[in-house]
Amino acid sequence: MSTFVLVHGAWHGGWCWDRVAPLLRDAGHEVHAPTLTGLSERAHLLSPLVGLETHVEDVVRLIDVLGLTDVVLVGHSYAGQIVTAVADRRPDAVAQRVYLDAFVGADGEAARDLLPETVEHHWAESAAEQGFGWLVAVRKLSVLGVTEQADVDWLLPKLTPHPWKTYTDALRLTGAADRVPAAFIECVSWMRVFAGQADRARERGWPVHELDTGHEAMVTAPAELAAALLEIAGRPSAARRETGV
């Protein structure tokens, strides 16, 4: 069985996977869903120094301290950057990378570079005008495809501003992540900010799965997302046997 490490995106915490994690555990897998430094219940640790490296270290330390192996590393949205960096540093521990409506970055690229121009401008403006130059305010959930009031009521009180530095810090990669098989899941029932990232995945020969839901799939379509993750989790061992990696 695999060990899933589920990494949340901007504004969220590890709790956002609470509807998905039980489904993965019921299938016999181990699941970890850490909250990144400075966010949600760890917001008391937020400072202008919290950047991409901070969050990469959060996940690397989780893997190292718990001795995790055969990890299916799932990153939502911004956390695609984290997945890439962690797999680059711990390629022998990570069996599969999964990008859930997430950034597919290359060496030297920052998350802001991967956003559509209009969205990047909005985020930078939000940080400059509302976030003291270093925070991005929580976006309206309706923009992300969350429309059910019960879902909004569950999410909104737990969300916190996100450090802009995580979007301006560039990935620094050795190329080791390329040894780790990858897959992409695109959420197609919203404004599809990550359509270009799905195209990048296709160009790299990764399987791309589509979910008929908004950006917050772990909230709005947990059963469908869990099914996709379980399907993907069956790929790494076979792929590695075939390639000898």
Domain assignment present for 65: yes
The answer to whether position 244 is within a domain reads: no
* pLDDT class of 241 with cuts at 50, 70, 90: very low
HSE-CB for 115 with a 13 A CA cutoff? 15
Mean pLDDT across 79-101: 98
Q: Do the domain assignments include residue 150? A: yes
Q: Is residue 243 part of a domain?
A: no
What lies within 8 Å, CB to CB, of 158 at 6+ separation is 12, 13, 15, 16, 40, 41
Please check the confidence at residue 235 and state whether its pLDDT lies above 90: no
pLDDT-above-90 percentage for the chain: 92
Residue 245 included in any domain:
no
Could you say which of 2, 77, 126, 189 is catalytic? 77
Among 111-120, 165-174, 196-205, whose mean pLDDT is lowest? 111-120
Residue 77 annotated to the active site: yes
Split at pLDDT 50, 70, 90, the class of 184 is: very high
CA 117 – CA 132 distance, rounded (Å)? 22
Q: What does the alpha-carbon distance between residue 240 and residue 245 come to, in Å, rounded to a whole number?
A: 5
In a domain, 241, yes or no: no
- For residue 1, the model assigns a pLDDT of 86
d(CA 121, CA 101): 20
Task: Give the pLDDT score at 240.
Answer: 38
- Residue 242: inside a domain: no
Orientation angle between helical segments 52-66 and 80-89, nearest 10 degrees: 50
CATH number of the domain enclosing 91: 3.40.50.1820
- Residue 230: count other Cβ atoms within 10 Å of its Cβ: 17
Provide the domain limits for residue 108.
3-236
CA 163 vs CA 136, 223, 237: distances in Å: 6, 30, 36
Q: How many domains are contained in the chain?
A: 1
Residue 239 has pLDDT above 60, yes or no: no
Task: Work out whether strand 208-211 and strand 135-136 pair parallel, antiparallel, or are unpaired.
Answer: unpaired
Kindly state whether residue 12 falls inside one of the protein's structural domains: yes
Digit-coded pLDDT (tens) for 21-31 = 999 999 999 99
- Tens of pLDDT, residue by residue over 117-172, are 989 988 899 999 989 999 999 999 999 999 999 999 999 999 999 999 999 999 99
Res 236: pLDDT: 37
**Residue whose token pair is 């121009």:** 117
> What digits encode the pLDDT tens for the residues 9-61?
999 999 999 999 999 999 999 999 999 999 999 999 999 999 999 999 999 99
Residue 70: the pLDDT is: 97
